[in-house]
Amino acid sequence: MHFGVLGSGIIGLTSALELQKEFPTAQVSIIADRFNEDTVSYVAAGIFRPGTSFMGPTKGITQQWMTDAFNYWDEIRRSKESALAGVCQLSGYIYSRTTPSVVRNHFIEQLLPVYRRATEEELKLCEGGWKYGSFFTTCLTESRLFLPYATEKFLKNGGQVVRQHVSNFFDVPKDFDVLLNCTGMGAKELCNDQQLVPLRGQVLKVRAPWIKTAFYGDLDTYILPGFETVTIGGCRQYDSYNTEWCKYDSMSIKERCYNMLPSLKKAEIVRECVGLRPHRAVVRVEPELITNPSGRRLKIVHNYGHGGYGVTTAPGTAKYAVKVVRDMLAGNSKL
């Protein structure tokens, strides 16, 4: 067996590791044109907190993705690998001035070790006049550490990495038994997928080691402490392809976050980053059999469209995608 994985972001790497785990004698190759700091995955703060509109093929499958993903991250967090892999525990608050449903989350209220209503005192922990709030304890995966960690693990397991841009699935360097398509926004061109839309995001990574708690406010405002820096953000610009850093977004982010926690004004800005979240109303994890004009056939399992929650859900969709691979090889998929 020889599997190909197109894409080396968080989705491609977790899928490749899952293939190696489930098919230990198979060869697995990753093909990608961007790695580590050049991927969208690198920009993410990496908090495990799915949006409530995140959707897989069914409600049951989506909840299973959440459970599998949380268990995967939490197992790394408990292990001796956690510092190397960039996985830690993080607690924090989500607040709203206007909408009580914003602070609820059906995916994780039962899954996380702690998810509860914030007390009146806790609503005053930072500026904003917050009316509704929840406190929760979750995981954070810092891609800056996890992507190289996962790549090294993949190579140690005998995997191969090829740097190549692919403009058509039949461009891939080998005749793979199955090709996993984990190309994020790249799938827009490769699959001619009109349902895949960029949700542009911009964040600042600042040095503020005194901040140990996560805070979310209204209007996409968040303060998320990581291993070395705190990610402050953000914005969500629908259908924007602008990968340039925007000074107006940066001013707005600073104003909103500084209002919440004034001590951030003293924090050194380490990096400003932009990423296009690959948003799809229904995340696409499904098989497809494609044939080119000369009759060559290729089995593909798609795994893309995770929007703003790719770090959260990657191990869950990877596990599901590899099950789809197994079904496809056994002739059990509905193709």
The answer to whether 34 contacts ligand FAD (rule: CB under 6 A) is yes
CB 200 within 8 A of CB 276: yes
Chain-centroid distance of CA 254 in Å reads: 24
Q: Which amino acid is at 11?
A: I
Q: Which listed residue (45, 85, 178, 283) binds ligand FAD by CB under 6 A?
A: 45
Binding segment for ligand FAD (CB under 6 A), chosen from 61-69, 98-106, 248-256, 272-280, is 272-280
Q: Which listed residue (4, 5, 11, 232) binds ligand FAD by CB under 6 A?
A: 11
CB 19 within 8 A of CB 322: yes
Helix H or strand E segment including 61: helix 59-78
Please give the size of the binding site for ligand FAD, defined by CB under 6 A: 40
The nearer residue to ligand FAD, 32 or 87, going by C-beta atoms, is 32
**First vs last Cα of the chain: how many Å apart?**
21
CB of 204 to ligand FAD, least distance (A): 10
Q: Which listed residue (3, 5, 16, 39) binds ligand FAD by CB under 6 A?
A: 39
The nearer residue to ligand FAD, 61 or 123, going by C-beta atoms, is 61
Nearest to 240 by CA among 182, 200, 298, 193: 200
Q: Which listed residue (92, 226, 278, 315) binds ligand FAD by CB under 6 A?
A: 278
**Coil vs helix vs strand at 119:** coil
Q: Binding marks (x or -) toward ligand FAD, 92..131, rule CB under 6 A?
A: ----------------------------------------
| 220 burial level (CB within 10 Å; 0-12, 13-18, 19+) | middle
Residues in CB range of 116: below 8 A, 6 or more apart:
134, 135, 136
The answer to whether 144 contacts ligand FAD (rule: CB under 6 A) is no
Q: Which listed residue (4, 9, 315, 316) binds ligand FAD by CB under 6 A?
A: 9
**Alpha-carbon span 56 to 228, nearest angstrom:** 33
Nearest to 281 by CA among 65, 58, 54: 54
Closest residue to ligand FAD, based on beta-carbon distance: 186
The answer to whether 230 contacts ligand FAD (rule: CB under 6 A) is no
Q: What is the DSSP letter of 178?
A: E
CB 77 within 8 A of CB 87: yes
In the annotated binding site, the residues are 33-34, 166, 183, 222, 277, 307-312
Q: Binding marks (x or -) toward ligand FAD, 150..189, rule CB under 6 A?
A: ---------------xx---------------xxx-x---
Q: Which listed residue (149, 215, 309, 320) binds ligand FAD by CB under 6 A?
A: 309
The nearer residue to ligand FAD, 128 or 275, going by C-beta atoms, is 275
Question: 């006049």: which residue's tokens?
Answer: 129
**Alpha-carbon span 45 to 209, nearest angstrom:** 15
Interacting residues with ligand FAD (CB under 6 A): 6-12, 32-34, 39-41, 43-47, 165-166, 182-184, 186, 190, 201, 203, 233-234, 275, 277-278, 304, 306-312
